[in-house]
Chain A
Amino acid sequence: MSPRFRWRWWTSVAALALAILLLAAACGGGGDDESAGTTATQTTGGGSTKQQTFPNFRIVYDTGTDYLDPALSYTVQGWGAMWNVYLSLLGYKHIAGPDGATLVPALAEDMPDISADGKTYKLKLRQGLKYSNGKAVKASDFAYAIKRLFLVDSPGVGFFSNIVGAEKFAETKKGEISGITTNDQSRDITIKLTQAQGDFQNILATVFAGLIPTGTPNKDQSTTPIPSTGPYMIQSYTPNREFVLVRNPNFKPTENVPATNPDKMTFKIVEDDSAALQQVINGEGDYDFHPIPVDRLAGVQQKYGDQLKIYTPANTYYYFMNNRIKPFDNVKVRQAVNYAIDRNALVRLYGGLASPTENILPPTYPQYKKHNLYPFNLQKAKQLIQQAGATGTEVEVWGSNRETSQKPVEYLQDQLNKIGFKAKLKIIDASIYWSTIGNQKTKAAIGFADWFQDYPHPLDWFDVLLNGDRITETHNNNYSNYNNKKVNSEIASLKKEAELTDEVNGRWADLDEEIMKDAGWAPYANRQFTDFFSSDIDTSCYINHVLYQLDFSRVCKKQ
C-alpha cells in the first residue's frame, strides 16, 4: 500500500467515524423517557385594554395563508391576519372567552335594524370613514364588495346567496344585486333577503363582507394590496415568504375596534414546525403560530412554561368522502370508512393534543350531543365493503404535505387497504391543497379536511359544509359533495330561526346524528393548539379570540 493510498484510506475511515460521532452527539436520548410535564396555562379571558405600542411584532406563520384578498381567503391564517385589516359593517369584541363572539358594530354606526319578518336589514355607515389610501368609504362600497364575491368565485358566495337578486347575479355576473340598496349621501345600506336567516348578522361580520373601494379589480389582489379600513393595512406580500402589516394612517379607534399595540406586524412564512419554534426560542421571532412539535412539547413546557399557552378553538378534523365519485356514493362504503378508523389512534397521531369525535359539531357548542354510531370495527367495515361490492376498488387519498394532514391520511390509506381497497396517497403542497380539493375538476374522492368556526352558529357548519344546495364548482367547501334533500330541507328550515332556543338546539343535534347515520363525513378529532411567545412578550396581554385565535393587535411587549 503506497503512503498516499494509506493516507486516503485512514482519512476515509476517520471521516466516517467523525460523521457517526457527530450524528450521535447531535441527537438526544431514546424516546422512551416519560418527562414530567410542568404547568402550561390554558387560555382564559384577559388582556389589557390600555394601548402599549411597540415597533414590530414578528410572527412566525405557516404556509396556510391562501390569499390576502378578503374575497378569496378562507383559512384561519388568512382571516387571522385580515380581521384587523378589512373591517365589515359588523364585527366582534376584541376580548377573550365566549364574550369574544359578541357582535358589535364596526363600520356601521349601530347594530342593524331588522324587520319583523327577518328579511330586511338596515344599517348606516359611520361618518368620516377613510380607506388607508385616503379615499372616502362609501355605502355603495358594501354593495360592490358583495358583488365582487360572485365575480371572483369567492368561497364565501354561499353566505350571501340568500340576498334578493344574488342568485340571478351569480348566473349573469351583470348589473347589480337588487337586494342591496345604498345611499352614499345618507350612508344608508339596506339588505333584503329572500327569507329570514338566523346567522345573517354573523355573516355581515365575516371578512368576506369587508368593505373595499368600488372598482377594485375582479381578480386576486393579494400581491397588490387593497386599501384597508381597519387598524392595519397590508404593506407587502411575497407569497410563501413574508407579508407585512403596518398601521393604517386613516384609522380612528373606536370602542369596538380599539387602538392597537404593534406599529407593524411582520409575518414570516416558515414551513417546518420545528424551525418555526426554534426561531422564536432564538429570539428571531416573537410568536410561533405553528403547533409545537410533539417531541419538543415537554422540553418547551419545562424551560419556557410561562411563554406557552394551550387553547381549544372550535374545530373538527375529518375525512371527506366525495358522494359524486364511486364508491363513496354508496352509504355502506362511507359507513365502512367510519368503522375502519380508530379515533383514539388518530388522537395519538396528534401527540395526544386532541379528543376523539364522531360528531360534526365540536363539544363547545350547546347543540352538541355526543353520539357513538361507529365504534372501531375493522371486520364490520370489511363486511360493508363486500356488501357494497367495492372490494378491490382503487382510490386516491388526498392530503397536504403538512404533518397534521399527512400523518392521518397515511393512516387512512393503511386502514382502507385493510378493509379491501387499493388505496394510494396523493400528497400536495399545503398552499394549494384547499383550492385543489375544492375544485370539482380535481375529482378528489377521499381525503383530509378540517374546519374551524367562522362564527359560533351551527349554520357555519351544516350550511357551509354539508348543504347540497351550496355546492360550487370552484372553492367548494362541501368537499364531500354531500347532497341529502331531507338534510338540505332541515337546514333551510333551521336557517330561518332567529334564536337558538333549546328546541332549535335539539334539532341541530338531531341533524348532526342524522348526517352521521348517513355517513356524510368521517370526523375523528377536535384538536388543541399551542401559542408560544418569545421572552419579550408580556403574556398578561394575551387574548385568544374565540373565532380568530390570537388577537395580534392586542399583543404587548414587556416594558
Chain B
Amino acid sequence: MATETRRERAGDSATDLTLDTAAALAEEEHGPIEGRSPWFLAWRRLRRNWVALGSLILFVLIVLLCAFAPIYADRVAETTPNANHVTDRVRVGGELRDVISAGGTFTNENGELRVRPVTILGPTWWHAGGKFVLGADQNGRDVAVRLLYGGRNSLLVGIGSALICTLVAVILALLAGYFRGSTDWVITRFFDLIWAFPVILLAIALGSALAINGFHHFGLDIEAGSLWIPTIVISYVLIPYIGRPLRGQILSLREKEFVEAAIAQGSSARRIMFAEILPNVASSVLVFFTLIVANNILAEAALSFLGAGVQPPSPSWGTLIATGQERITTAPWLTLAPGLAIVLTVLALNIFGDGLRDALDPRAKVRIEH
C-alpha cells in the first residue's frame, strides 16, 4: 500500500523509477526484508538509469583523455601544446603539405596586383601518422594536442572552482541556517551582494583586474597566468548559487526534532551542524556539485573566450574558440572541436546530475538558477 502510494507520488519525478523500499526490494529478490541504507537504494536507482550512467562514462572518458594529453602529445603527435610549426611540412597520405602555406602578394601577367591567401592545414585524420589529427591553428600548433591540454585546464578550473565554491557555500549555509538571526542576516546579505551583479560581468571584471598583475594580498601570492585566478574568480561569483538553496534546506532542518534533541543532549553547535544536519543535505550537496561543475566549465570557457580566464598561450576550450573564431570560414575545425568538447562535457554532466538527483531523492527540487 505504502509502496503504491509512493509510486503514485513518484509519478511526478523526472524518472520512471519508484522509491524502492526494503519491502519492495525483498519482494523482488525473493528474500527476507533487510534494512537498506539510502545510499544503497540510491545506487540501485542510479544503476537502472543507463542514460545517466552512460553520461558518467562519457565524462570519465573525456577526463581520462585529457589526463593522458602529455602521452598523446609526446608519443602520438610528437609535439607540445605551444610549439609553433609555422614553416613545417608534413606528409599527409603520401603528399607533402605546408602546415601554413606561404601566401603573399604577386603581380600577374597583366601587371595587376593579386593576393594569394595563406591556408592552414586542416584535419589529417590519422593520415599523417598521428600529427595534426584535428589540423593546425594560425600559429601552426597541433589542434588535437591543444584540445586535450585545453581540456585539462578547463576541467581543472571547472572542478576546482566547483569544489571551492561548494565547500564555502556549505559552510556559510550551515552557519546561516543553524545560527539564524544576525549571522543569517550577514551571510544572506553577502549572497545578495554577489548575486546583485550579473555573474559573467562580475567574473570578467575580476578576471581582467587580476590578469595583469596577479593576486598578492592576504598572504596569497598568485601569478597573473596562474589557473588559480579563474578558479577563484569563478568559485567566488557562484557561491550564492549553492549557498542560498542550501541555506533554505538547512533552515528547514533546523526546526526538526532531531536537532532539538541533539541540543538538549548538550551537543556542540559544530557537532550538530556537521554530524546531524550536514548528512541530511549531503545528497543535495552532491547533486549541486555535479551540476555546478558543468556550469563552471561553461563559465571558464566564457571567461577565457573574453580574455579574462586562462591566459595565452595556455590552451583552454574557451581560448581555443576565441582564437578559432578569426578563421571560422576557412578553418572551422578550430572552433568546432573545442565547442563540441564543451557541449559533450556539459551535457554529460547535466544528464548525470539529473540522474543522480532522481536517484538520491526523486522528490528533490534541486536546480541551479541562472
List residues of A whose CB falls within 8 A of some B CB: 1-5, 8-9, 12, 16, 19-20, 23-24, 26-35, 37-42, 273-274, 293-299, 301, 310, 342, 344-349, 351-353, 401, 403, 406-407, 410-411, 413-415, 417, 424-428, 528
Contacts and interface: CB of A to CB of B under 8 A. Distances in A.
A425 B313 contact: yes
Contacts of B212: 426, 428
B118 A352 contact: yes
Given A28-B329, A31-B331, A427-B311, A352 B15 contact: no
B330 A28 contact: yes
Interface residues of B, number: 59
B330 A295 contact: yes
Contact of B119 (A1, A33, A427, A428): A33
Contacts of A30: 122-123, 331-333
Given A4-B14, A23-B340, A345-B140, 20 more contacts: A5-B14, A12-B351, A19-B343, A27-B328, A30-B332, A32-B122, A34-B117, A37-B115, A37-B117, A41-B113, A310-B113, A310-B115, A348-B118, A351-B118, A352-B102, A352-B105, A410-B139, A414-B83, A428-B212, A528-B105
Nearest to A432: B212
A37 B330 contact: no
A352 B340 contact: no
A20 B138 CA distance: 24
A446 to B, nearest CB: 15
B16 A5 contact: yes
Interface of B: 11, 13-17, 51, 82-84, 86-87, 97, 100-105, 112-123, 135, 138-140, 212, 224-225, 307, 311-313, 325-333, 335-336, 339-340, 343, 347, 351, 354
B58 to A, nearest CB: 11
A414 to B, nearest CB: 5
Given A27-B328, A407-B138, A413-B313, A295 B335 contact: no
Contacts of B347: 12, 16
The majority secondary structure among interface residues of chain A is helix
Contacts of B122: 30-32
A534 B321 CA distance: 29
A483 B305 CA distance: 40
Contact of B51 (A3, A9, A31, A414): A9
B114 A352 contact: no
B100 A8 contact: no
Contacts of B105: 310, 352-353, 528
B115 A345 contact: no
A27 B336 contact: yes
B335 A27 contact: yes
B117 A352 contact: yes
Contacts of B121: 31-32
Contact of B117 (A9, A12, A297, A424): A297
Contacts of A347: 102, 104
A16 B343 contact: yes
Contacts of B307: 401, 427
Nearest to B351: A12
Contact of A411 (B97, B101, B139, B336): B139
Contacts of B224: 426
A131 B117 CA distance: 48
Contacts of B333: 30-31
Nearest to A20: B340
27 contacts: A8-B14, A19-B343, A23-B339, A28-B328, A29-B332, A31-B121, A31-B327, A31-B331, A32-B122, A34-B116, A37-B115, A37-B116, A38-B114, A39-B112, A40-B113, A295-B117, A310-B105, A342-B87, A347-B102, A351-B103, A352-B116, A353-B103, A353-B115, A401-B307, A410-B82, A410-B312, A425-B312
